[in-house]
Amino acid sequence: MRKFTALLVCALAVNLLVAQVNAPQTTELKIGSSYFTMPNLAPDEYLPNTIILKVKDQYRANCQQFGITGLDKLTGFFSMVGTETCEKMFPNHQKPAKQYNELGQKLADLSLIYTMKFNGGFGLEKVINKLFALGYFEFVEPYYIPKAEFTPNDPQQGSQYHLTRIDAYLGWNTQQGSSNVVIGITDTGIELTHNDLSGQIKYNTADGPAVNGIDDDLDGFIDNYYGWDVGMNDRDPSWQANNHGVHVSGCAAAHTNNNTMIAAPGFNCKLLPVKISDASGTLIAAYQGITYAADHGADIINCSWGGGGGGAFGQTIIDYATINMGALVIAACGNNSSDEAFYPAAYNYVISIASTGATDIKSGFSNYNYTVDVCAPGSSILSTINGNTTGQMSGTSMASPVAAGVAGIIKSQYPTYTGLQVGAMLKATAKSSILSLSGNLAYANKLGTGLVNMNNGVTMPTAKYIEFANRFITDNNDDVFMIGDVLSISGDFINYLAPTTSACTATLTSLSGNCTVINGSFPIGVLATLAQTNNTTTPFTAQINTGTPINAVIPFRVAITDGSSTTNHYFSVIVNVDYINVTMNDVWTTITSKGRIGYNQDGQQQGLGFKYMIPDSAMMYESSMMIGNSSTRVSDMFRGTAATGDVDNSTLVRVYQVTPTVFSDFDLSGQFRDNLAPSPIGITTRHNAYAWMSIGNRKYVIVEYWLKNTGTSTVSNLWCGVISDWDVTDVTYGNNKANQDASRKMGYVYNTIGGGYYAGIKVLTQTPFNHYGIDNVGGGGGGVDPTAGTPEFSTSEKFTVLSTSRPTAGNTQTNGNDVMSCVSSGPFTVNVGDSVKVAFALLAGDNLADLQTSADNAQVMYDGLTGMSSESLNEYGFDVYPNPTNGLSYLQFFLDEAATVDIRLFDALGNEVATVASGEMGAGKQDLWADLSRLSSGMYYYQITVNGKTISKKIIVTNE
């Protein structure tokens, strides 16, 4: 199962838009970001054929409880995929009366969230992306099914060591909890008759214990006296199948000081049971459970469950519970013993809990991460279990409710605190000394502020906690963070607790050697409780260093210090990405460094796809250059054996823009090889891309591949092609057909619905043409079936579409199918050290005639590229090394024929500094050097001219 993604790409430029990863460049998930990433999921981690979506506010009038009406494109799409139901998830919720609270935090609107079920036949991933592409929705996601987070152990009696570790006995001397403070337990259910739980339940007296079938309190739930079973939509929250929720309830607030069984941190705080599982114990209504708890008075909401999947729906629910309703959500950080974000714990506003044992060392099973806020005991915790008894369990599932019980005591001590203030106090008063224990040093900065401490929490009213929130990161240019760029980092400093002094200061530190902080200090000064300021006018600044790896993740820490109080906040930025978006003309696409086209990663991530005339609608689902010479040797970056698709190529030269341009208005070049393939062919590919702005040439982008045999033996029967999963007219991709125009060496795809656009791929080089149309449906329509088997799209099937002909696809249905197309050329025989060139035009048009005109124009343009061939300057990319240099500078390039070459060195102002070479040079690899030791430090650039064609290359001199 490949990863799911919801995609929205925003057009930000009309010339060059170099792609960025996960804007806005932090680990914090933002609703409405360009896209969000979800991990690979097992089949039991999401509901099949089920989607959660949120309608944009401007379409509110179209929203009914049991459907969305009046949107023709949506109606047609629902019909095409066989939609069975589409109904509001929270029909009792209305739009908030205002958009923001007093701190400028946006209130969540649950009234436009729907659950949609369809009857199959279409892949879940694709349905999600196509729905999002309609433009009607804020988010479209799978329906995640989280799992309870605990590590079972044989039940046994034992001491409750954890109460001592969190200083509960000392804390209870000050505060034993208020019955007005409610801890919501969203879990597998409770044992209502348990002697240590029954007296702790917050009964809904407004609805009364009598079962009368009437919603007495008009809250939308009938007879919900004991809580609610959200998973099965009934009044009984008693546990089923899994007693996890019984144990969790006791960890938080079992009846204490009653001479019965156990004590619990929450003491007199009450429990609100919210069962979120079905009869089998599967957590099918987890986030709905959070909503119910928030709506029914829970001050603290415990979530001893989660998973790796985190989308905008979950964050919206957290926003609602926290910002709209003022609750505090506390969640387990996961039991995978790994450094990873876990949801809902990793969401913004949630308090993420790691687990410790009896010696305050991180439990072996517990996750750790920058997203962790605090720790709590979670190993061998004695608590209530079913059968009116007690037993031990271990897990972050136990640590989370222990922390929730402490939070309940803090809320009881400071009843006017909002949930976020309670969370701030929990973090500010944690026992930080555990972080320096030898067993915890390996998890530096990833166990939060320390171990929760109840006594500190209720006896330190002057504790301080300032949040660094709403971060904004830019390079004040294209917001593509590359080597040499200076990042500007700003945000809001929100004071949740005691007022600060004039000495309060924020300090930025890079936790990576790949980034150097330039300005790392901001004077926060005096801030009253619940006041805020920002550093927008004097932001932090940091520069990305030379040598930073591709797609590097740079973690930062912002330390906020006021006297003896220090609060640390962590975030990450992804820099030095390895793909470029082409937005030069009417066709927008993405050129990557490893052979993918349209998107840098599987699942429509990191890129524009292939767009024509409709900026928010992608005509291509995925595409890749593909080579092969047998049924067991194919190298590509398309779907196949791995969850993320085949990854057969590695980058040698990252794709870059050639400046000044040589051939077109926008030249790109790069180099990769197929060494990651299970059976490499031994081909190194120099790839180039060209785009023009001139009339007649605005509807295509050319991609050119120089295939060099860098292996040890002759490669025979080699084919090279471009394979694409086309979704022409995007939303109605199930109505596509594929065909070919053999005279133009072009395969194309079109939509059978009237007025649909056309897209195609054409062979431009004087090499053979082949086209294979693929029905991307079960059975393959009589051809190759890319949807079945393991792998779904095998090496043998890929070679078939590369090397054999199938002119059409989509003919098994009157209105077409979901189709793919492979346009290829071959076979070639390539001796060791030799190369063969194959070029393709990626085309779009309003109709077939328009597409054919663009194909003809692309051929004329490509045939007219004269003078220095792309191989001449690009086979070795005009390499300059080392860069920076403080002495000798070496230059390397390749000429495929004898040529007149002139190489000069200029300073940053354009003044000529030296002539490196001038005159005739023979064919082949060229190696030159220049002595730059006499130059002053600074930026220079080489200018190389071959037969009248010129390119430039920067060089940094660092002479002392």
Spatial contact of 214 and 222, defined as CB atoms under 8 Å apart: yes
Cβ atoms of residues 543 and 529 within 8 Å: no
Place of tokens 């592409």: 133
Contacts (Cβ under 8 Å, ≥6 apart) of 387: 191
- SS3 (DSSP) at 608: coil
CA atoms within 13 A on the CB side of 560: 27
CA torsion sign for 116, 121, 123, 128 is negative
**66: closest CA among 33, 29, 115?**
115
Q: Determine contact, residues 721/626, Cβ cutoff 8 Å.
A: yes
Cα distance between residue 734 and residue 99, in whole Å: 39
Rounded CA gap, 571 and 690, in Å?
37
Q: Which two tokens stand for residue 78?
A: 């629902």
CB 796 within 8 A of CB 629: no
Structure-token match 């708890």, residue found: 293
Neighbours of 97 (CB within 10 A): 6
Cβ neighbours of 268 (radius 10 Å)? 20
Determine the Cα–Cα distance for residues 573 and 26; give it in Å rounded to an integer. 5
Distance CA 293, CA 288 (A): 9
Report d(CA 560, CA 567) in Å as an integer.
5
Question: 414 φ, ψ to 5°?
Answer: -125, 75
Give strand pairing partners of 356. 362, 377
Nearest one of 526, 106, 76 to 315, comparing CA atoms: 106
Q: Is 277 helix (H, G, I), strand (E, B) or coil?
A: coil
**Cα–Cα distance list, 289 to 275, 403, 620 (Å):** 7, 19, 38
Query: What tokens does 624 get?
Result: 């890749």
- d(CA 826, CA 847) in angstroms, rounded, equals 29
- The owner of tokens 């806020």 is 373
Q: What type of residue sits at position 735?
A: N
d(CA 420, CA 425): 9
Question: H or E segment at 462?
Answer: none
Q: Are residues 81 and 49 in contact, defined by beta-carbon separation less than 8 angstroms?
A: no
Residues with a known catalytic role: 187, 244, 397
Q: How far apart are CA 830 and CA 683, in angstroms?
A: 10
Distance CA 342, CA 724 (A): 34
Residue 565 in contact with residue 550, Cβ under 8 Å?
no
Residue 525 contacts by C-beta under 8 Å, 6 or more apart in sequence?
Answer: 500, 502, 504, 533
Chain centroid, CA 804 distance in Å: 38
DSSP, collapsed to helix, strand or coil, labels residue 81 as helix
128 vs 142: CA distance, rounded Å? 8
Q: How far apart are CA 625 and CA 623, in angstroms?
A: 7
Cβ atoms within 10 Å, residue 940 = 21
